[in-house]
Amino acid sequence: MTTKTILGRSGVFAGAVLATVVTGAQPVQAAPPGKNLGPLIDGYQSYVGQSTCDATPKPGVAEFRDMLLAAYPGTGDSGIGRACNVGGQSEHKEGRAWDWRVSATSQGHIANDALNWLLATDKFGNKHALARRFGIMYIIWNRQVWRAYDPDAGWRPYTGENPHTDHVHFSFGWPGANKQTTWWAGGSFGKSTVGYYQPSNSTWHLRNTHSGGSSDITFAYGAAGAKPIAGDWNADGKTTVGYYQPSNGTFHLRNSNSAGAPEVSFQFGPPNMVPIAGDWNNDGKTTVGYYNPGSGTFNLRNTLNAGPADTSFRFGPTNMVPVTGDWNNDGKTSIGYYNPGDGTYHLRDTNDAGSSNYAFRYGPPGMRPITGDWNANGKTSIGYYNPSTAGFHLRNTNDAGSPEHSFTFGPGGMIPVAGDWNKA
């Protein structure tokens, strides 16, 4: 196979996907283990043909190979590297192409399964999501080619000398080959930063960096007695604001960080609960819940409307301070609590009763806990706000130790909030 064959061909557009490749139409059955990946994603890889010769397998290609071979036993490895004097131009000669040995006649369903996985639209609406995250440049399989640099064309007939009926060919751009794309680098996650809500005038003050300074975003939104809450209510990758009204148990959520009317309002649970928010079912959208301090129960709902809790359970003693986050990067927000009496955090990886998966002390007693993905690695970790000093103290791991980020922002006595306010 040579890349020149692909670029020089002027075949007719395949308006319908050919029967041998059914992307997006069948559920993935055995694809490699997934990752919780955020809404930010790589662009499509442009065409960059072979220009040098160093056939040493590049790390992103080698790990992609190992991943597919582990997921699909009975398939094989037809090689990454190729000698400089064999054949024409090919990314194999730069160690950034791999031929996955699989038979179109007896194992076509396996190849289709993997291709469906790579080319599916993700929960954030990103087309061809994993192919982009791996930095794949083009794929050839069973007389067809898919090109990241012409994605809207879909699968088109491939008329090269080798029909590729005994292997799938994957060519990678340099970022994917060198593990510099979001699948490897964790760069698909937004970074959480902090803010505060001022109850006296219902104003929000949000900051986009881990540092002191003036607010990047300031606006009024709320009501007397309201408790602030924040989340990605519409799955656009940006955290926006909302509030819970304790007097009647209603939530009022807004899809932009600005003054205005709520896009969503509904009642959930009894009055005078403690509001919480998270993506409980890994659908990309934040929904709400409440903690009942009198019983120590968590009550979670998967949709932004009135109705019964989808999940209810007790975790920890009564009268704790609830916290939420994706502690283990599995894509689901789960719960925990902060004990203000001793400054300890108790976090659980699943939304059910049981013991803590993480328990540790961080900071002095009597602080106001805050959680977020402070370093954009996909895992939520903890922090605290000191109301007497207006100091934020954020830690990148869920264990005891010193903060990675400490700074003062705003006046004392505020209610801390956290989120990715600018989708960065």
* pLDDT at res. 195: 98
Name the helix (H) or strand (E) containing 228: strand 227-231
Mark whether 17 and 82 lie in a shared domain. Answer: yes
Residue 284, pLDDT > 80, answer: no
Token pair for 71 = 């997921």
DSSP state of 344: E
112 and 34 both lie in a single domain: yes
The model's pLDDT over 26-78, given as tens digits with 9 standing for 90+, comes to 444 578 877 777 777 888 998 999 999 999 999 999 999 999 999 999 999 99
Print the SS3 string covering 154-175. Answer: CCEECCCCCCCCCEEEEEECHH
Task: Tell me the pLDDT tens digit for each residue of 117-140.
Answer: 999 999 888 999 999 999 999 999
Whether residues 397 and 283 fall in one domain? yes
| pLDDT score recorded for residue 24 | 41
From 153, 185, 217, give the residue that closes a domain.
Answer: 185
Phi, psi values for residue 102, rounded to 5°: -155, 140
- What pLDDT sits at residue 189? 62
Residue that terminates a domain, selected from 165, 185, 205? 185
| Confidence band, pLDDT 50/70/90 cuts, at residue 283 | confident
Q: Residue 97 and residue 33: Cα distance in Å, rounded?
A: 22
Banded model confidence at residue 415, pLDDT cuts 50, 70, 90: very high
Q: Which residues contact 166 (CB under 8 A, 6 or more apart)?
A: 101, 102, 103, 104
Local confidence band at 17 (pLDDT 50, 70, 90 cut-offs): very low
Q: Which pLDDT score is estimated for 98?
A: 98
Domain that holds residue 245: 193-419
Question: Mean pLDDT, to the nearest integer, of 155-183?
Answer: 93
Residue 335 sits at φ, ψ, to 5 deg, of: -115, 175
Average pLDDT, the chain: 90
**pLDDT given for residue 57 in this prediction:** 96
Comparing 5 with 421, the larger pLDDT belongs to 421
Determine, yes or no, domain membership for 229.
yes
In this structure, are 107 and 200 located in the same domain?
no
Please tell me whether residues 234 and 314 are part of one structural domain: yes
Does residue 256 register a pLDDT over 60?
yes
Q: Are the C-beta atoms of 105 and 64 separated by less than 8 Å? A: no
Q: Based on the domain organization, do 240 and 124 belong to the same domain?
A: no
* Residue position matching structure tokens 């131009």: 89
Which of 13, 26, 3 has its CA nearest to residue 82? 3
| Residue 148 forms part of a structural domain | yes
Residue 43 lies in a domain: yes
Same domain, 166 and 208: no
| pLDDT bracket for residue 216 (50, 70, 90) | very high
32 and 143 share one domain: yes
Residues 56, 110, single domain; the answer is yes
Answer whether residue 235 is part of any domain: yes
Question: Do residues 118 and 179 share a domain?
Answer: yes
Q: Is 74 left (phi over 0), alpha (psi -120 to 50) or beta?
A: left
The alpha carbon of 16 is separated from its chain's Cα centroid by a whole number of angstroms, namely 31
235: how many CB neighbours lie within 10 A of its CB? 15
Determine, yes or no, domain membership for 424.
Answer: no
What's the structural domain count of the chain?
2
pLDDT in tens, 287-312: 999 999 999 999 999 999 999 999 99
| Domain end call among 128, 161, 185 | 185
pLDDT digits 0-9 by tens, 298-354: 999 999 999 999 999 999 999 999 999 999 877 789 999 999 999 999 999 999 999
Co-location of 91 and 169 in the same domain: yes
Judge whether 214 lies within some domain. Answer: yes
Q: What pLDDT, on the 0 to 100 scale, is given for residue 173?
A: 92
- If asked whether residues 180 and 197 sit together in one domain, one would say no
CA distance 231 to 237: 9
Residue 215 lies in a domain: yes
Predicted structure pTM score? 0.69
